């Protein structure tokens, strides 16, 4: 797996406690997990949670980092390279709220959905992630 798009001491992606708890539940049911954030419209702009390896990543994707949700393996987070070019100056936090999950995302039947909360990187973070 390629190194995350970033530098030492800084991160591009994080997870809330509530989202981490849901990810642990989903991992217990589905095994290792991954996220992919595309730049599409509608459901395509939501972070999609899949069983690890079910969504194929490649040269058109950027590995943003790995989420430590507690447990044996982290949850890698990927983004389409085109979307990354637009969001490269932001820190992303994966959260969960009540609602219907996106079509193929694993949380869809739970009555909750993952979403991205973003903020601009600080100057220090941006420098370390350059």
pLDDT in tens, 71-108: 889 999 999 999 999 999 999 999 999 998 767 899 99
pLDDT score, position 41: 59
CA atoms of 65 and 34, how far apart (whole Å): 11
Least-confidence region, from 3-7, 52-56, 67-71: 3-7
Query: What percent of the chain lies above the pLDDT cut of 70?
Result: 86
Mean pLDDT confidence for 47-68: 94
The residue whose two tokens read 């419209």 is 41
Residue 60 has which token pair? 């058109």
Domain parsing of the chain, residue ranges: 13-129
User: With 60 as the cut, is the pLDDT of residue 35 above it?
Assistant: yes
CA atoms of 118 and 88, how far apart (whole Å): 11
User: With 80 as the cut, is the pLDDT of residue 24 above it?
Assistant: yes
pLDDT score, position 3: 45
The residue whose two tokens read 């190194």 is 3
Among candidate residues 130, 21, 51, 40, the one with its CA nearest the CA of residue 79: 40
The residue whose two tokens read 């079910």 is 54
User: With 70 as the cut, is the pLDDT of residue 5 above it?
Assistant: no
Fold of 13-129: Hypothetical Protein Aq_1857; Chain: A; (2.60.300)
According to DSSP, residue 130 is labeled: -
């Amino acid at each position: 797996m390629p190194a995350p798009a970033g530098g030492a001491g800084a991160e591009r992606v994080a997870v809330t406690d509530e989202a981490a708890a849901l990810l642990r539940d989903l991992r217990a049911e589905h095994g290792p997990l991954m996220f992919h954030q595309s730049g599409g419209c509608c459901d395509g702009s939501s972070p999609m949670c899949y069983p690890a390896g079910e969504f194929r990543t490649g040269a058109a994707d950027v590995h943003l980092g790995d989420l430590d949700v507690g447990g044996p393996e982290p949850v890698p987070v990927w983004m389409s390279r085109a979307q990354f070019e637009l969001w490269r100056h932001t820190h992303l936090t994966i959260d969960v709220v009540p609602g219907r999950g996106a079509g193929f995302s694993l949380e869809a039947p739970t009555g909750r959905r993952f979403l991205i909360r973003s903020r601009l990187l600080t100057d220090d973070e941006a420098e370390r992630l350059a």
